[in-house]
Chains A and B, each alone.
Chain A
Amino acid sequence: MTSLTLSHFLFTSAVLFVIGVIGFVTRRNMIVMFLCTELMFQGAAIAMIAFSRFHGDLSGQVFVIFILTIAAAEAALALALVVLLFRRRETLSAEAWSELGEP
């Protein structure tokens, strides 16, 4: 095995991000869709830490702290909205609200 380079970590982060995108587009359960956005956050966080290590600059790690903050705030508000939507229609399916889009 050779040494680790930056590219290894960036590839892992790209794969996690793309799997999050596929899951977000595919699943219809609203809570699982938000879990897939959290997976996209994980991919971005790995990329930031990898670049921070690569450049020797700690700004990437500091920014991942802010990513955690934003993810927590977004999860709280998104789950509050999902609970309210569930109580309206008694279903977690995103397609119950599909008439909100364009006809």
Chain B
Amino acid sequence: MAPNVLYTSCVLGAIGIYLLLRPGPRALKPVGVLLGLGALGWVFKASAEALTGDGNGPTFFFYVFSGIAIAAAVRMITHHRPVYAALYFVMVVISSAALFLLLEAEFLAFALVIVYAGAILITYLFVLMLAQQAPEPGNEDAQPDYDVLPREPAAAATVGFIMLALLSDTVFMGAPEIQPGTVPVTATPENIEQVGVALIADFPVSLELAGVILLMAMYGAVVLARRQIELSEASR
């Protein structure tokens, strides 16, 4: 794929994200959406021309799910209400679980939905409930300043897309003949059994360390929560 296509679409994507991020007139937001979608579609179409293969794998589902993931991610970083940002992140998690299913990692697709969307994001939503500022009496729909105004969106979009251009440079132009490897899926045990055997057989020490990390996180959370209670009792 010609490098101009990738770099131009990165520039268009940067302009699109900047228009979506900045706290200005809402009239330019659809332009940002169109620029972002156009840049993404251009890259995918150009990649379809440059990379040919033998047709294994359902490519239509890949485009749908990665399009949903990227669109939900952009909406997550630009929405002015943090609860909506958490819900758009749930959409990102579900569509990346679908991408895992395309890559034949069924156990991890379900583990991702259960752990991420079911536990971590519920924790985030609880904390968002607890850390709400009381709205001012006259103006109850106004969001606090730090939610509405982003911090230097132009510099962030520029630097981000320079990083994306460098990352995808090596992806698309380094090895155009990469094909997914063929894993024999007929005579082998199911994915969850294979992952379990690999976890215990190849990574026993990491498994123990992961347990220790979780224990330390639990200790840390208990200590942090406890100190707050002691402070409020001491102030009485």
Are B171 and A14 within 8 A (Cβ)?
yes
Chain B interfacial residues counted at CB < 8 A: 101
* Distance of A81 Cα from B179 Cα, bound (Å): 45
Given contacts A52-B105, A53-B103, A80-B221, are A62 and B85 in contact (CB under 8 A)?
Answer: no
Given contacts A12-B99, A23-B77, are A3 and B150 in contact (CB under 8 A)?
Answer: no
Given contacts A4-B57, A93-B145, are A26 and B127 in contact (CB under 8 A)?
Answer: no
Within 8 A of B (CB), among A22-48: 22-23, 25-29, 31-32, 34-36, 38-39, 42, 45-46
Main secondary structure, interface of A, reads helix
- B149 contacts the other chain (Cβ, under 8 Å)? yes
- Shortest distance between the CB of B123 and any CB in chain A (Å): 6
Q: How big is the A interface, by class?
A: 35 or more
Residues on the A chain within 8 Å of B48, using CB = 1-2
- Shortest distance between the CB of A45 and any CB in chain B (Å): 7
Partner of A75, one of B82, B104, B124, B164: B124
- B59 contacts the other chain (Cβ, under 8 Å)? yes
The 10 closest A-B pairs by CB, nearest first: A23-B77, A3-B53, A73-B217, A93-B146, A28-B146, A22-B160, A14-B167, A4-B57, A58-B198, A80-B224
